[in-house]
A and B are shown apart, each in its own frame.
Chain A
Amino acid sequence: MTSGSSQMTLRTDGLVKRFGDTTAVAGVSLAVEPGEFFAIVGPSGCGKTTTLRILAGLESPTAGEVELAGRDVTDRPPRDRETNLVFQDLVLFPHMTVAENVGYGLARDGVPEATRREQVEEMLETVGLSGFGDRDPASLSGGQRQRVALARALANEPSVLLLDEPLSSLDRTLRTEMRTELRRIQRDVGTTFLYVTHDQESALSMADRIAVMRDGRVVESGSPSTLYNRPRTAFVADFLGDANLLTATVQGRENGRVTVEAGGGRFDAAADTGVPDGSVTIVIRPEDLRPGGETLSGTVRSVSYKGAHEEYGVALDGGDSVRVRTRADGDVTVGATVGLDVLDASLVTEANTEDGE
């Protein structure tokens, strides 16, 4: 990472955006560190794209502030912001060559022709498109167009690159490949990336930190592993992967852990937040239930083979149903009785936002 003095922090404070009667963004506060790969993830309609467009200056917020390196840029037009946006549908300029597309921002900054050509070639090399400069964007493949869009947005060295689900149009294989590429390019150029997506897999695999949004608010933010393994809300647990949500009663507590009774068994669960009395919700990932144990027991209702692993639907004796994921060995059949150990569990709240509203 080449975090120099040109690196800045992006901060927003209580962003609100209303379109008529609908509130798209309902108070978003974020802080993105220099050089960070930050992802905003959430279901469609959660306000993530609007937030991104406010950051880019393409929408002005109804309330709240956007700060770049400590300076308020809320009212600055997009051209005066050191942020660049990679659009969801890329919007490459169809009447320009690849090189002209990439050099567009440099030309606007008044970079002389010769320097510009050099920088464009360098940028194309970074994104793996050396020698494509004279091509027509329409003649490129989907993945290549992604790279051009990326190069165009990076060429005039923005301090923050905003990406609006640019991989959503690619097929699965290409998307996986581009994720790795994006991560590599981000490390190479050292620019802060703010990536918006509804695809939790993309966010988990690329980001240093993630903010999960819902209904115009940030529900939780943190590192991918924290959010995945120690979600604090049922929503995040469910959104970031498959989750078994069980109602439990707290039996005992110590040092951030609680002993709970759920599904007819008793086990420990992590509790990072305050623990309410009485009935709580705990989340167990399907891969954290190991067959052959004795904490919980139930009857196998369904078995589905997924290649590398198998998934069972198990009706617990205690009444709940859970999903269990384990390495495929073909031993378990529908109707069999199975005992399960709980490897990991977390206590979650149903609360909607980080503010605990």
Chain B
Amino acid sequence: MSGLTDRSWWPSTPAARGTVADAGLAALPTALAVALGVVPLGFLFVESVSPPVTLTNYAALGGSVYPDVMLRSLGIGVVITGICLTVAYPVTYWLAHRCPARYRLALLVSFTLPLWLNYVVLNYTWVWILAENGLVNVLLTETGLADRPLDLLRGGASVVVGPFALPSLSLGLGFVHIYLPYVLLTMYVSMERLDYRQVEAARDLGAGPVRVFRDIIVPETYGGAVAGALIVYARIAGAFATPQILAAPSEQLIAQVITAQFYDVLNYPFAAALSVAFLAIVLVGFGIGALSSDVRAELGRW
């Protein structure tokens, strides 16, 4: 092969130019994501072991109410996520496979509309349902079902079942109200992909509703369920405004404690240590969830 001019050692010019141009285009969003994502996490870590280098901030995490607060936050995250999934399963199944096609889009839009609304406002609306002079108490007393208003808003200490702290009624409703739409959306996406003929085949072979649910629906949609759980879990456990508005005084959550340390006590190092510890626990949870390739595929869609 005499006529060959070998240029393999030379980076072909257009390709090299393309790489440089694309790196330039990538720079702006990446710089923003690094400056406000990676750098602050670094600051957070450095702050958490200051002054100079110390672990006293982390040691302090073990004291006072902090372990309780942390556990309560995580527990409430689990409970609310579970409630959202329990509601989302039948609703999205019906929507994807039973709902008359002409209503489907309108219903899907109305179930996911709250994603676009302000959650501070949505949380506030529950005040008028649960307050002493709210809708429920007015109905109860007017109909004589109760002789005096019940303590529904920010009332009742949280009940602890095993490792999980149950949220108070108003906090639970407020959380489900703003996070259910996220779970409905992720679950709907994977419910829609479930081939309904599988359900029919199982029925044809004599499976009852429970078997169909266990053998067909759960395995086929579990990726969507875990993805939905991952999306809302950290937000529930790390919520600030919702507990500020709807939680009982006895059920402080971690974000409230962190914010208080940052804003009121001005103890940055301790706020940072709390944040880092909380982040570590959440990320470990994510790591376990993301181990499944189904879940990774599902999250990849987001």
Contact = CB atoms under 8 A, between A and B. Distances in A.
17 contacts: A13-B4, A14-B4, A14-B5, A16-B4, A18-B8, A60-B12, A60-B14, A60-B15, A61-B7, A62-B7, A63-B4, A63-B7, A63-B8, A64-B4, A64-B5, A65-B3, A75-B13
Interface string A11-40: 001101010000000010100000000000
A77 interface: yes
Contact of A27 (B1, B7, B8, B12): B1
Nearest to B12: A60
Interface in B1-49: 1, 3-8, 12-15
A14 B7 CA distance: 12
A13 B3 CA distance: 7
A75 B1 CA distance: 21
Contacts, number: 33
A62 B14 CA distance: 13
B5 A63 contact: yes
Contacts of A60: 12, 14-15
Nearest to A357: B1
A39 B235 CA distance: 61
A355 B3 CA distance: 13
Contacts of B8: 18, 62-63
A77 B7 contact: no
Nearest to B6: A63
A16 B13 CA distance: 17
Interface of A: 13-14, 16, 18, 27, 29, 60-65, 75, 77, 355
A329 B13 CA distance: 65
Nearest to A26: B1
Contacts of A16: 4
Nearest to B17: A77
Contacts of B12: 60, 75
A77 B12 CA distance: 12
User: Which A-B residue pairs are the 4 nearest by beta carbons?
Assistant: A14-B4, A60-B12, A14-B3, A63-B6
Contacts of B7: 61-63
A77 B14 CA distance: 8
A355 B4 CA distance: 14
A91 to B, nearest CB: 20
Contacts of A27: 1, 4
Contacts of B13: 75
A333 to B, nearest CB: 49
Contacts of A61: 7
Contacts of A65: 3, 5
B30 to A, nearest CB: 27
B4 to A, nearest CB: 4
Contact of A29 (B3, B5, B14): B3
Which of B1, B5, B13, B14 is packed against the most chain A CB atoms within 10 Å? B1
B17 to A, nearest CB: 10
Nearest to A16: B4
B206 to A, nearest CB: 43
Contacts of B14: 60, 75, 77
A102 to B, nearest CB: 27
Contacts of B1: 14, 27, 355
A13 B1 CA distance: 10
A27 B4 CA distance: 8
A16 B7 CA distance: 10
Contacts of A64: 3-5
A52 B3 CA distance: 20
A23 to B, nearest CB: 11
A65 B6 CA distance: 10
Contacts of A63: 4-8
A14 B5 CA distance: 8
A3 B172 CA distance: 81
A224 B15 CA distance: 38
B33 to A, nearest CB: 31
A63 B6 CA distance: 5
Nearest to A27: B1
A62 B4 CA distance: 10
Contacts of A14: 1, 3-5
Contacts of A355: 1
Interface string B141-169: 00000000000000000000000000000
B280 to A, nearest CB: 39
A149 B241 CA distance: 57
Contacts of B5: 14, 63-65
Contacts of A29: 3
Contacts of B6: 62-63
A59 to B, nearest CB: 9
Nearest to B15: A60
A18 B8 CA distance: 9
A63 B9 CA distance: 10
A27 B3 CA distance: 10
A274 to B, nearest CB: 22
A77 B7 CA distance: 17
A14 B1 CA distance: 7
B207 to A, nearest CB: 41
Contacts of A77: 14
Nearest to A57: B14
A60 B15 CA distance: 9
